[in-house]
């Protein structure tokens, strides 16, 4: 077993065996240390994922509560399952009437539409009826009939999602349409949290919302935040490390949610052009971008596009970088990450290359 794996397992072990006295003493010491440097951390479950917030600030304890409340507030607006959420009301009124929504819901729907247009509809917030047909919003998953997929694809056009900024309303033009912000809402939430915390004077924090990470500033000693890019084939391993400050890092991958039927895996990222899980030759896409909202939408969209189209798209933009892990075992990072990404996948037969603009 390589050292990297040992570290990963050791970290997991700390949590698994934290009942013993020795571990408790270590934990106590860590707690003392963290108090000294005003380091506060909380873990909670929201937006269908595990969230861990680390805040370094003398008022960290209250700020953690503020952060959790902000997440709940957004979840109550944006969830597709919570009764009376604004998104649920929009969906229930599809083909019926426009729904008046808050500034957050309006901004996110607008961002979702913009990212759809920017990515040639690889990102599609109206894909929900198809996602539902695959069972990804339910407990029961199964491969839908092709006729079902074909029929539902007529309900997924972003042109039929009308966002009226002047009147603060959203209208889904056809009955049966629905929006699903699962591919962008956590990114938006991370931006809102960062804004809230910075506004309260936080200069050092790390927010982790499932696959979405947002770094505020640097660590208190001025060193960079370090995060691992997971090996999509092994939850206890990683393909490389990113060292960053003041940036968001979002990963999408088929490995994050899938089911198996007749020995084949079907994952949750749907290609809006076919209605089937995107089979684009990628295992994961990690986006590094100042905007968490954009990073989230792009990680989903570039996964759908596949490596070649994603790199072509990246070359037309200048506000993000990306790391791709392909089904062929290649790790490709875009050139802006030359210094901040350290490839570590060689032990597991991954190969590495840097993609350049030229």
Instruction: Tell the smallest beta-carbon distance from residue 226 to Mg ion (Å).
Output: 22
Shortest-Cβ-distance residue relative to Mg ion: 300
Instruction: Using the rule CB under 6 A, give the single segment among 32-40, 218-226, 241-249, 296-304 that binds ligand AMP.
Output: 296-304
Binder of residue 127, out of Mg ion, ligand AMP, none (CB less than 5 to 8 A by kind): ligand AMP
Give the one residue of 67, 270, 282, 302 binding ligand AMP; rule: CB under 6 A: 270
Instruction: Tell the smallest beta-carbon distance from residue 110 to Mg ion (Å).
Output: 17
- Looking at beta carbons only, is 171 or 255 nearer to ligand AMP? 255
**Is residue 212 at the binding interface for Mg ion, with CB under 5 A as the rule?**
no
Burial group, residue 308, by CB count within 10 angstroms (0-12, 13-18, 19+): exposed
**Is residue 252 at the binding interface for ligand AMP, with CB under 6 A as the rule?**
yes
**Is residue 204 at the binding interface for ligand AMP, with CB under 6 A as the rule?**
no
132-146 burial, b for 16+ CB within 10 Å, e for fewer?
Answer: bbbbbbeeebebbee
The two structure tokens encoding residue 73 = 């507030």
**Is residue 86 at the binding interface for ligand AMP, with CB under 6 A as the rule?**
no
Give the one residue of 133, 216, 269, 305 binding ligand AMP; rule: CB under 6 A: 269
Binder of residue 268, out of ligand AMP, Mg ion, none (CB less than 5 to 8 A by kind): ligand AMP
Give the one residue of 119, 286, 299, 326 binding Mg ion; rule: CB under 5 A: 299
Classified as helix, coil or strand, 207 is strand
Which residues, numbered 94-123, are part of the site for ligand AMP (CB under 6 A)? 123
**Is residue 300 at the binding interface for ligand AMP, with CB under 6 A as the rule?**
yes
Binder of residue 124, out of Mg ion, ligand AMP, none (CB less than 5 to 8 A by kind): ligand AMP
Which of 278, 306, 4 has its CA nearest to residue 127? 278
List, in sequence order, every residue forming a beta bridge with 250; answer none if it has no partner.
212, 287
Give the one residue of 40, 136, 188, 350 binding ligand AMP; rule: CB under 6 A: 136
The vertex-119 CA angle with 113 and 120, nearest 5°, equals 90
- Looking at beta carbons only, is 130 or 239 nearer to ligand AMP? 130
The site string for ligand AMP over 301-340 (x = CB under 6 A, - otherwise) reads ---x------------------------------------
The site string for ligand AMP over 35-74 (x = CB under 6 A, - otherwise) reads ----------------------------------------
The two structure tokens encoding residue 191 = 């931006």
Give the one residue of 75, 180, 321, 344 binding ligand AMP; rule: CB under 6 A: 180
Burial group, residue 97, by CB count within 10 angstroms (0-12, 13-18, 19+): exposed
Give the one residue of 39, 88, 219, 268 binding ligand AMP; rule: CB under 6 A: 268
Measured CA to CA, the distance from residue 271 to residue 49 in angstroms comes to 23
Binder of residue 121, out of Mg ion, ligand AMP, none (CB less than 5 to 8 A by kind): none
Instruction: Tell the smallest beta-carbon distance from residue 182 to ligand AMP (Å).
Output: 3
Measured CA to CA, the distance from residue 179 to residue 92 in angstroms comes to 10
User: Cα-Cα-Cα-Cα dihedral of 143, 253, 281, 137, to 10°?
Assistant: 20
- Looking at beta carbons only, is 300 or 326 nearer to Mg ion? 300
Q: Are 287 and 335 in contact (CB under 8 A)?
A: no
Measured CA to CA, the distance from residue 233 to residue 239 in angstroms comes to 10
List, in sequence order, every residue forming a beta bridge with 87; answer none if it has no partner.
none
Measured CA to CA, the distance from residue 280 to residue 177 in angstroms comes to 26
Q: Alpha helices of 172-327 — where are they, by DSSP H?
A: 185-199, 292-305, 307-316
Instruction: State the residue for tokens 């936080």.
Output: 202
Q: Rule CB under 5 A: which residues touch Mg ion?
A: 183, 296, 299-300
């Amino acid at each position: 077993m390589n050292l990297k794996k040992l570290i990963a397992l050791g970290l997991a072990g700390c949590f698994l065996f934290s009942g013993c006295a020795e571990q408790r003493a270590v934990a106590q010491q860590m707690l003392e240390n963290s108090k000294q440097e005003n380091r506060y951390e909380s873990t909670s479950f929201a937006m269908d994922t595990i969230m861990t917030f680390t805040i370094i600030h003398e008022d960290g304890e209250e700020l953690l509560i503020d952060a959790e409340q902000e997440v709940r507030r957004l979840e109550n607006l944006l969830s597709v399952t919570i009764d009376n959420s604004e998104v649920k009301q929009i969906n229930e009124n599809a083909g019926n009437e426009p729904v008046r929504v808050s500034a957050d819901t309006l901004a996110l729907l607008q961002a979702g539409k913009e990212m759809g247009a920017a990515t040639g509809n690889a990102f599609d917030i109206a894909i929900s009826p198809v996602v539902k047909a695959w069972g990804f919003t339910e407990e029961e998953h199964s491969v839908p009939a092709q006729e079902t997929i074909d029929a539902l694809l007529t309900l997924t056009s972003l042109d039929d999602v009308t966002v009226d900024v002047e009147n603060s309303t959203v209208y889904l033009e056809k009955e049966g349409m629905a929006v699903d912000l699962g591919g962008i809402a956590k990114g938006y939430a991370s931006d809102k949290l960062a804004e809230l915390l910075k506004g309260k004077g936080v200069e050092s924090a790390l927010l982790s919302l499932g696959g979405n990470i947002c770094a505020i500033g640097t660590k208190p000693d001025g060193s960079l935040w370090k995060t691992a890019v997971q090996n999509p084939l092994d939850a206890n391993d990683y393909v490389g490390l990113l060292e960053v400050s003041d940036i968001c890092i979002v990963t999408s991958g088929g490995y994050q949610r899938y089911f198996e039927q007749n020995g084949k895996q079907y994952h949750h990222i749907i290609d809006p052009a076919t209605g089937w899980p995107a089979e684009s030759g990628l295992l994961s896409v990690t986006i590094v971008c100042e905007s968490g909202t954009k990073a989230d939408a792009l990680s989903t969209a570039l996964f759908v596009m596949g490596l070649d189209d994603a790199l072509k798209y990246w070359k037309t933009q200048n506000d993000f970088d990306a790391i791709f892990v392909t089904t062929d075992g290649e790790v490709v990072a875009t050139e802006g990450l030359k210094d901040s990404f350290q490839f570590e996948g060689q032990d597991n037969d991954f190969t590495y290359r840097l993609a350049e603009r030229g």
